[in-house]
Amino acid sequence: MVNLTIDGKKVQIEEGKTILQAAAKCEIKIPTLCYHPVVEAYGACRVCMVEVTVRGKTDLVTACNTKVQEGLDVQTGSERVLKARRLNVEMLMARAPAAEPVQELAKALGIEKTRFEIKDPQEKCILCGLCVRACETIVGASAISFIERGTERKVMPPFGEPSEACIGCTACAYFCPTGAITYEDKYGRKVIHTELHLGPTTAIRVPIRQAVPMVPLIDTEACIHFKTGECKVCTKVCDREAINHDMQDETLEVEVGTIILASGFKPFDAKRIPAYGYGHFPNVITALEFERLVNASGPTGGKIKLADGTEPKAVGIIHCVGSRDENYNEYCSRVCCMYSLKFAHLIKEKTSADVYDFYIDMRCFGKGYEEFYHRLLHEGTKFIRGRVSDITDMAMTQREEGKLIIRVEDTLLGTVRRIPVDMVILATGLEPSIDHNQLAKIFNISCSQDTFFLERHPKLAPVSTFSDGIYLAGACQAPRDIPDTVAQAGGAAAEALALADKGTFALEPVTAEIDEDLCAGCQLCVNLCPFTAITYDKEKGISVVNDALCKGCGTCVAACPSGASHQKHFRDSQIFAEIEGIFVV
Amino acid sequence: MAEMAKEKAYRIHLMVCAGTGCVSNNAFGIKAALEREVKKQGLENEVLIVTTGCNGFCERGPLLVVQPGSIFYQQLTEKDIPHLVEEHFLKGRPVKKLMYTPPKEKTPVPVLSDIDFFKKQVLIALRNRGLIDPEKIDEYIARDGYKAVAKALTEMAPEQVITEIANSGLRGRGGAGFPTGLKWQMVRNAPASNGSLKYLICNGDEGDPGAFMDRSILEADPHSVIEGMVIGARAVGASEGFVYVRNEYPLAIKRMNIAIEQARDYGLLGNNILGTGFDFDIKIVRGAGAFVCGEETALIASVEGRLGEPRTRPPYPAQSGLWEKPTLINNVETWANVPIIIDRGAKWYASIGTLTSKGTKVFSLVGKINNTGLVEVPMGIALREIIYDIGGGIPGGKEFKAVQTGGPSGGCIPKEQLDLPIDYESLTAAGSMMGSGGMVVMDEDTCMVDVARYFLTFTKDESCGKCTPCREGTKAMLDIITRITEGKGTEEDLTLLEDMAHAVKDSSLCGLGKTAPNPVLTTLRYFRNEYEAHIRDRKCPAHVCRQLNVYTIDENRCLTVGKGCDLCRRNCASDAIRGAKNEAHRIVQEKCIKCGVCYDVCNFGAVKVD
């Protein structure tokens, strides 16, 4: 540890730290321009100059890259310091009149106007070199550097032409303290709300606010380190040294006794209904996007806004998008009515917009749901019964100018109506998750007609499957809301625990067996077995039944061409004997 | 060495100076003419023609010194040669009219050592100048060359070498005057991170306008630098060295390359030097001609192939230099001093000079002075002795005004301080500095504001632009001074200029910025009245700042003496002169662009400037 004095305050700090760090420790602010904590200090702007006295020698040094020494006496605001700092800032004002940090610093130092010649009033670059250093040492690309000398100095890629070394990471723009470096996005990412772009995020982020576990992850596609091998700025700022760039994906094999499948759902892709214009009209958004928008931790901080940043005056909510529709899914997605009502309520609460709710039937089946619907009726949400045919921006009247027009057959009035709104929320239905079919194969589970996983019995065994020890919970079995999912998951967990606690389970007494002497090894049964209970033994050249998996369905027995497959306790000879017995009587 | 013994003995050696100055004055033509004539007279077995490095008396080139006897011939032309060869070398009668005659005297001085220019000089760094052919290692060895290496490598421990250098009191000749022994000790003590690799650098990036000491040493005696570096490498434990020379010095690079090759052939460089098991080799790095690369950290960046810009010290190169290894970096002249210190001992060296500054210093004496050239003088010598005794005073009977020492970032010393002893401390106290040894003499016709403007233009152009005060400050100061020289300056400008000079000096990153305001500060200190004349009276006392001059014609003189010759009118570019032949002429001030042509062409002194 090193002891020093800054402006009369005694500070103790580890050896190797800079005066700037020591000053920060005792909350003394030293202005900087070319300094950034993760980039190696450069000492070029000379704004952080302080007066130091050590062993009777006084000198002006830059605080950003001068290391602390035992007994150092630092003055951050002496007359000599201020004189030099003021003049340097004043000169930078002339160089880069449009650079805001310089203006602010000048204001703080009491400089109103620069006495030096201003070359370009629009100039923002203060030649601090942060961009150059970041590109070289952090990104590892060295795509830009200084060219020319003295006042002619500027930042440029080689020969002033677009450089192949540039990886387009925009780190230079990020580090630029004055906004002198800008960039344009030529590949037009989808921007939903311009105030804060819902576009690219940082390479390190917590995926969502509600993520479990609530930890950040590194997106290797976006991370500079995985592109150039450099950067690793995150490791420099992480005190806990918790970041490891060398971790690899790995496949774990875990032995378990029971399995609960809770693979969830995916929302219906609204683009499949072109008439609703999702993806074409920026103000047609899905329910999940609205959920994000209205969230207090969302991009607008919970404010409901249109793509141009203004507040909507009328909002339409369309139910049953992709549900109860012969063209897409026939089933009811169960949750859309209630979340749509919630949206209507939130919009009413947060804005003064008119809300139109287009429904086919209002399905408020749960506890307290019907009461909520009635509350909304009183709040003034306009409910229109009928399926929306399409959404268009072709105005037919003055009132429709610049709006999205929802065309709908109002079945209660018996007419076709055109409702102009600013924003449309599509209440997209629920569909089985993307890898649903692979999962079904892996776990040998059947699917019902609606393609969700099939339970063993709709009433008597609603969480079990036909495979013993595998249970279902949540929307993978059928669309359901949160209370239902929680309840079902509790049931599945109890079933799984009951089995795990017992440690054994009773096999079906009637299972198939294959006679080794008769089996010709044709493998017909292997492919036919619906429970993947039969495997082929290559060494012996015969098929073998796994007793634990066999359900005794008899498919293999009926199919075996050489009569090698038998049903235990259900052999032909037994049946014939039974028949004979009948005749005897 | 065996080869040397075989070499023939000659009656006469002709030492033809082949320094850059003489070469550009046709030294090689003179040499060819000598060879031709010698052959014609059948003297080729008696007369040997040798090309040497810079002799120093560049003013009088091309030069020829005849040995034995040190007869000094100067300002030779090819036409002189047949006569010279016949008279002197054949008939033994030295040619008086080709000898040097001091100004104001009538009789020539035949012998080199009797000439004032050489008389007061003490040659240590330039000990072999004009005596050896720099492209022949044998000649260097014959003058006790590489004796010091043998001593340092076989008889002395590295620590002893460092002690010897420290005791000699040698200080860096690059300008700052850091004690060389201390620097060597720092490099030796530096813990070498990963491995024991250390580097050595010879700083030959001489950039001061009008300075050519380093070039002369590299051209005239490259082996002395190599020998110094080998000794240094041994002392600090370095295995590789770099000589950084600017590419504008092709002759120095050529001679250095030859010298390195020869030293390798003789086992004085490379592996197992002199059979002692010590390995050291030297590479030449050519600089692209940026003044700032003379600053050690910028030089190192340049050697590494990066942008030549300085960085904050500490860490010093002695701790973390080239490729972050401890690096010993010394100036050409410092290296050239090393062998002779080891050879003749610290005590002898320390006996020359003053209390704090030991040995000698090479200066390039230029400007308004009779004997332009390279001089090596003991520390402590008075400025007056250099300028009047060695330099021969100011030409044209003009009065001395000031001398600028230390290159573009040095200061101007006025005539009141002519008796100032030359050493690091007193020059710094006078507001100037030793620098690398440039010495620009100015006479009464020099405008000191213009001098400050000239040097600021140089530093502004050469500022790398890294730090704010140097980049913006030199430009802003130059703008103010330019305003003053154009007669647009105000009193506030003067205050601002002074404030800025102090702030730039105080807050710049490297030596360039820290010293760039020196010409401004010293001229303000010693010649403030000239600034005030420019601002208050809108006059340039030396009539250098043309924008302030007013040209008039003395009509009476024009008519009576010049008879209205009309020369001025015919030469006037802006048609500002009225009058016809045989009439008095007159200048229309509104049309005058102050080019001064009329003043220059008038043969009768009728054009006046005020």
Task: Provide ipTM, 2 decimals.
Answer: 0.85
Query: What is residue A299's predicted lDDT score, i.e. its pLDDT?
Result: 75
The whole-angstrom separation of Cα B61 and Cα B52 is 13
What's the Rg (C-alpha) of chain B?
Answer: 27
Nearest CA in chain A to B457: A150
If asked whether residues A341 and A475 sit together in one domain, one would say yes
The verdict on B288 touching A (C-beta cutoff 8 Å) is no
A149 pLDDT exceeds 50? yes
**Residue range A206-215: mean pLDDT, rounded:** 77
**Residue range A315-329: mean pLDDT, rounded:** 95
Q: Which residue has the higher pLDDT, A333 or A239?
A: A333
All residues at 6 or more sequence positions from B331 whose CB lies less than 8 Å from its CB, including other chains: B172, B173, B174, B175, B202, B203, B204, B214, B436
Q: Which of A42, A60, A153 sits opposite B471 (nearest CB)?
A: A153
A248 in any annotated domain: no
A423 in any annotated domain: yes
Range of the domain at A223: 129-243
The verdict on B290 touching A (C-beta cutoff 8 Å) is yes
Query: What is residue A186's predicted lDDT score, i.e. its pLDDT?
Result: 43
Q: Which two tokens stand for residue B414?
A: 């006025």
Chain A residues within an 8 Å CB radius of B509: 43-44, 46, 62
Inter-chain residue contact B503 with A87, CB threshold 8 Å: yes
Chain A residues within an 8 Å CB radius of B507: 46, 49, 60, 84-85, 87-88
Could you list the beta-strand ranges (E) of B55-185: 64-67, 71-73
If asked whether residues A464 and A357 sit together in one domain, one would say yes
The CA distance from B464 to the nearest CA of chain A, in Å, is 5
The verdict on A338 touching B (C-beta cutoff 8 Å) is no
Residues of chain A above pLDDT 70, percent: 95
Q: Which of A44, A65, A150 sits opposite B461 (nearest CB)?
A: A150
Cis peptide before B62 (omega within 30 of 0): yes
Inter-chain residue contact A84 with B311, CB threshold 8 Å: no
Inter-chain residue contact B460 with A87, CB threshold 8 Å: no
Strand A404-410, strand A388-392: pairing: antiparallel
Query: What is residue A425's predicted lDDT score, i.e. its pLDDT?
Result: 97
Query: What is residue A201's predicted lDDT score, i.e. its pLDDT?
Result: 58
- For B104, other C-beta atoms within 10 Å of its C-beta total 9
What's the pLDDT tens digit per position in A362-373? Answer: 999 889 999 999
The whole-angstrom separation of Cα B287 and Cα B294 is 10
The verdict on A115 touching B (C-beta cutoff 8 Å) is yes
If asked whether residues A454 and A545 sit together in one domain, one would say no
Query: What is residue A187's predicted lDDT score, i.e. its pLDDT?
Result: 39
B339 pLDDT exceeds 90? yes
Domain boundary among A214, A243, A272: A243
A317 pLDDT exceeds 50? yes
The verdict on B429 touching A (C-beta cutoff 8 Å) is no
B2 pLDDT exceeds 50? no
Nearest CA in chain B to A147: B307
Residues of chain B above pLDDT 70, percent: 98
Query: What is residue A155's predicted lDDT score, i.e. its pLDDT?
Result: 87
- For A224, other C-beta atoms within 10 Å of its C-beta total 20
A120 in any annotated domain: no
What's the pLDDT tens digit per position in B84-127? Answer: 898 888 888 888 889 998 877 888 898 988 888 998 899 999 99
Query: What is residue B1's predicted lDDT score, i.e. its pLDDT?
Result: 42
Nearest to B34 by CA among B70, B69, B65, B55: B65
Q: Is-contact A213 A318, C-beta < 8 A?
A: no
Q: Which of B460, B496, B499 sits opposite A150 (nearest CB)?
A: B460
CATH of the domain at A89: 3.10.20.740
Q: Is-contact A228 A141, C-beta < 8 A?
A: yes
Chain B residues within an 8 Å CB radius of A43: 311-312, 467, 509
Backbone angles phi, psi at A77, to 5 degrees: -140, 30
What's the pLDDT tens digit per position in A270-308? Answer: 999 999 999 999 999 999 999 989 988 777 888 999 988
List domains and CATH numbers for chain B: 9-119 (3.40.30.10), 137-349 (3.40.50.11540), 360-434 (3.10.20.600), 448-537 (1.20.1440.230), 549-609 (3.30.70.20)
All residues at 6 or more sequence positions from A223 whose CB lies less than 8 Å from its CB, including other chains: A203, A204, A231
Q: Return the residue matching tokens 């490891």.
A: A244
Q: Is-contact B537 B495, C-beta < 8 A?
A: no
A50 in any annotated domain: yes
If asked whether residues A397 and A522 sit together in one domain, one would say no
Average per-residue pLDDT in chain A?
88
Q: Is-contact B293 B314, C-beta < 8 A?
A: no
B59 pLDDT exceeds 70? yes
**Residue range B186-206: mean pLDDT, rounded:** 85
The CA distance from A180 to the nearest CA of chain B, in Å, is 17
Nearest CA in chain B to A150: B465
Inter-chain residue contact A152 with B465, CB threshold 8 Å: yes
Query: What is residue B191's predicted lDDT score, i.e. its pLDDT?
Result: 79
Beta bridge partners of B404: B412, B440
B135 pLDDT exceeds 50? yes
What's the pLDDT tens digit per position in A455-489? Answer: 989 999 999 998 888 999 999 999 999 999 999 99
A250 in any annotated domain: no
If asked whether residues A270 and A338 sit together in one domain, one would say yes
All residues at 6 or more sequence positions from B327 whose CB lies less than 8 Å from its CB, including other chains: B187, B198, B199, B200, B201, B300, B317, B318, B321
The verdict on A83 touching B (C-beta cutoff 8 Å) is yes
What's the Cα-to-Cα distance from B473 to each of A116, A178, A436, B463, B608, rounded to whole Å? 10, 21, 70, 10, 38
A43 in any annotated domain: yes
- For B420, other C-beta atoms within 10 Å of its C-beta total 19
The verdict on A92 touching B (C-beta cutoff 8 Å) is yes
Query: Sorting pLDDT into bands at 50, 70 and 90, what band is A443?
Result: confident
Query: What is residue B3's predicted lDDT score, i.e. its pLDDT?
Result: 46
Inter-chain residue contact A43 with B467, CB threshold 8 Å: yes
All residues at 6 or more sequence positions from A22 whose CB lies less than 8 Å from its CB, including other chains: A4, A6, A11, A13, A68, A74
The verdict on A385 touching B (C-beta cutoff 8 Å) is no
The verdict on A146 touching B (C-beta cutoff 8 Å) is yes
Distance of CA A424 to the CA centre of its chain: 23
Nearest to A513 by CA among A557, A574, A553: A557
Domain boundary among A108, A139, A158: A108
**Residue range A35-47: mean pLDDT, rounded:** 92
Domain boundary among A194, A217, A243: A243
Which chain B residues in 181-200 lie under 8 Å from chain A, judged by CB atoms? none
A122 in any annotated domain: no
Query: What is residue A433's predicted lDDT score, i.e. its pLDDT?
Result: 92
**Residue range A163-183: mean pLDDT, rounded:** 79
Query: What is residue B90's predicted lDDT score, i.e. its pLDDT?
Result: 86
The CA distance from B547 to the nearest CA of chain A, in Å, is 22
Q: Which of B307, B474, B507 sits opposite A88 (nearest CB)?
A: B507
If asked whether residues A304 and A380 sit together in one domain, one would say yes
- Across the A:B interface, residue pairs with CB atoms under 8 Å apart total 100
Query: Sorting pLDDT into bands at 50, 70 and 90, what band is B61?
Result: confident
Inter-chain residue contact B468 with A91, CB threshold 8 Å: yes
CATH of the domain at A524: 3.30.70.20
Chain A residues within an 8 Å CB radius of B479: 116-117
The angle formed by the CA atoms of residues B518, B519 and B520, to the nearest 5 degrees, is 90
A191 pLDDT exceeds 50? no
**Residue range A113-133: mean pLDDT, rounded:** 91
If asked whether residues A14 and A63 sit together in one domain, one would say yes
The CA distance from A257 to the nearest CA of chain B, in Å, is 56
The verdict on B460 touching A (C-beta cutoff 8 Å) is yes
The verdict on B463 touching A (C-beta cutoff 8 Å) is yes
Cis peptide before A213 (omega within 30 of 0): yes
DSSP letters of B64-91?
A: EEEETTTEEE-S--TTHHHHHIIIIIIT
**Residue range A355-362: mean pLDDT, rounded:** 96
Q: Which two tokens stand for residue A522?
A: 């044709």
The whole-angstrom separation of Cα A286 and Cα B240 is 69
Q: Is-contact B38 B45, C-beta < 8 A?
A: no
**Residue range B59-78: mean pLDDT, rounded:** 90
Chain A residues within an 8 Å CB radius of B475: 150-151
Query: Sorting pLDDT into bands at 50, 70 and 90, what band is A193?
Result: very low
What's the pLDDT tens digit per position in B348-365? Answer: 999 999 999 999 999 999
If asked whether residues A42 and A182 sit together in one domain, one would say no
Inter-chain residue contact A91 with B476, CB threshold 8 Å: yes
User: What ranges in B306-390 are assigned the alpha helix state H?
Assistant: 332-344, 346-350, 383-384
What's the pLDDT tens digit per position in A518-528? Answer: 999 898 999 88
Nearest to B482 by CA among A149, A117, A119, A150: A117
Residues in chain A: 585
Q: Which two tokens stand for residue B346?
A: 């610290």
Could you list the beta-strand ranges (E) of B132-273: 199-204, 240-246, 270-273
Q: Is-contact B51 B92, C-beta < 8 A?
A: no
Mutate to test the interface with A, among B499, B506, B508, B509 (most CBs of A within 10 A): B506
Inter-chain residue contact B312 with A43, CB threshold 8 Å: yes
The verdict on B311 touching A (C-beta cutoff 8 Å) is yes
Beta bridge partners of B245: B204, B286
Q: Which residue has the higher pLDDT, B419 or A530?
A: B419
Query: What is residue B7's predicted lDDT score, i.e. its pLDDT?
Result: 62
Chain A residues within an 8 Å CB radius of B502: 83
Query: What is residue B327's predicted lDDT score, i.e. its pLDDT?
Result: 95
Q: Is-contact A564 A514, C-beta < 8 A?
A: yes
Inter-chain residue contact B469 with A62, CB threshold 8 Å: no
If asked whether residues A176 and A53 sit together in one domain, one would say no
Inter-chain residue contact B507 with A60, CB threshold 8 Å: yes
Mutate to test the interface with A, among B458, B471, B492, B512 (most CBs of A within 10 A): B471
Inter-chain residue contact A84 with B465, CB threshold 8 Å: no
A422 pLDDT exceeds 60? yes
A232 in any annotated domain: yes
If asked whether residues A497 and A517 sit together in one domain, one would say no
Query: What is residue B33's predicted lDDT score, i.e. its pLDDT?
Result: 92
If asked whether residues A421 and A448 sit together in one domain, one would say yes
**Residue range B533-555: mean pLDDT, rounded:** 90
If asked whether residues A434 and A549 sit together in one domain, one would say no
Inter-chain residue contact A45 with B468, CB threshold 8 Å: yes
Nearest to B56 by CA among B224, B228, B229, B220: B220
The verdict on B471 touching A (C-beta cutoff 8 Å) is yes
All residues at 6 or more sequence positions from B302 whose CB lies less than 8 Å from its CB, including other chains: B244, B285, B287, B288, B290, B293, B308
The whole-angstrom separation of Cα B125 and Cα A226 is 56
Chain A residues within an 8 Å CB radius of B311: 43
For chain A, the domain total comes to: 4
Nearest CA in chain B to A130: B466
Range scoring the smallest mean pLDDT among A12-21, A184-193, A504-513, B188-197: A184-193
CATH of the domain at A407: 3.50.50.60
Q: Is-contact B483 B477, C-beta < 8 A?
A: no
The whole-angstrom separation of Cα B60 and Cα B48 is 23
B5 pLDDT exceeds 50? no
What's the Cα-to-Cα distance from B267 to each of A514, B313, B447, B549, rounded to whole Å? 92, 37, 55, 65
